[in-house]
Amino acid sequence: MKHLKLTTGILAIVFIALTITSCKENKKDQDKDDDHVTEMKHDDKKMTHDNSDGHHDDDNADETTDVRDIKMNTQKSSSTTLIVDAYIQIKNSLVADNKEDAAKGATALLAAFSTFDMTTLKGKAHTDYMEIYESAKEQAEHIVKSPIDHQREHFETLSTDINDLVTLLGTEKTLYQDYCPMKKVSWLSETKDIKNPYYGSKMLTCGSVKKQIN
C-alpha cells in the first residue's frame, strides 16, 4: 500500500511538472505569435504610408519627444510677430482643411524667419533660438510640399517650436495654448474658441484651452 501511494505521488508530481512546462511553452509560442503579428502590422503601416514628400515615420522620432529647457520670457515683444502671424495662418488653413493656404502660410513662415534679427540674441538664448529655427524651418518646408495629412503631422512639431519661441522671446499678442486629447498634442490659437487644426471639419471643436499667454 505504501509503495502504491509513493508511486501515485511520484506520478502526480511528474504530471504537474509536465503541465507547468507545457504552459510555459504555449506562453512562449503565443508571445512569439503576438510579436510576429505586431511586426506585421508595423510593416504594413510603413508600406501604406506615402513618403513622397520626404517625410519618414521614424525620422527624428526621438527629437520630437525632447523638452527644451527654456526660461519663460514674460516681456511683450514684437520681434516674433511675423513668425506667429504666419504660424496662425497655417493653423487656420488646417482648420479649414485647405492644403494650398497651409502651404502659403508655411512659405510666409520661412520668409518671417529669414528676416528675423538674430544679432540681438546672445549665449543660451541664441543657441535655443537656432535649435528652434532649424526644426521649424524643416517643418515649414515639408508643409509647403506635403498633402494635408502630412502637413498636420509636421504642424505638431511646428507647434512645439513656435510655443518654445514665444516662451524664449515673448510676444505682443494674446495667444491661447490649446490641447487635443485625441492626439495628445498642443497648438497655439489667437482665439478662445476651440478649432482643431489636427482634425479640421472631422472634429472641429475637439480640445480645450490649457493656458492664456498675455
Query: Looking at the predicted structure, is the pLDDT value of residue 7 above 60?
Result: no
pTM (2 d.p.): 0.71
Kindly state the DSSP code that residue 37 receives in the 8-state scheme: H
Q: How confident is the model at residue 67 (pLDDT cuts 50, 70, 90)?
A: confident
Span 33-58, average pLDDT: 42
Task: Find the angle CA(188)-CA(78)-CA(89) to the nearest 5 degrees.
Answer: 40
> Quick one: pLDDT at residue 75?
84
> Quick one: pLDDT at residue 36?
41
Q: How confident is the model at residue 22 (pLDDT cuts 50, 70, 90)?
A: very low
* Cα–Cα dist 207/185, whole Å: 10
> Quick one: pLDDT at residue 38?
39
Residue whose cell numbers read 503565443: 30
> Quick one: pLDDT at residue 51?
47
* Cα–Cα dist 170/151, whole Å: 26
Q: How confident is the model at residue 73 (pLDDT cuts 50, 70, 90)?
A: confident
Q: How confident is the model at residue 10 (pLDDT cuts 50, 70, 90)?
A: low
Query: Looking at the predicted structure, is the pLDDT value of residue 188 above 90?
Result: yes
Please report, as a single letter, which amino acid is at residue 45. Answer: K
What is the share, in percent, of the chain residues with pLDDT greater than 90?
A: 64
Tens of pLDDT, residue by residue over 110-141, are 999 999 999 989 999 999 999 999 999 999 99
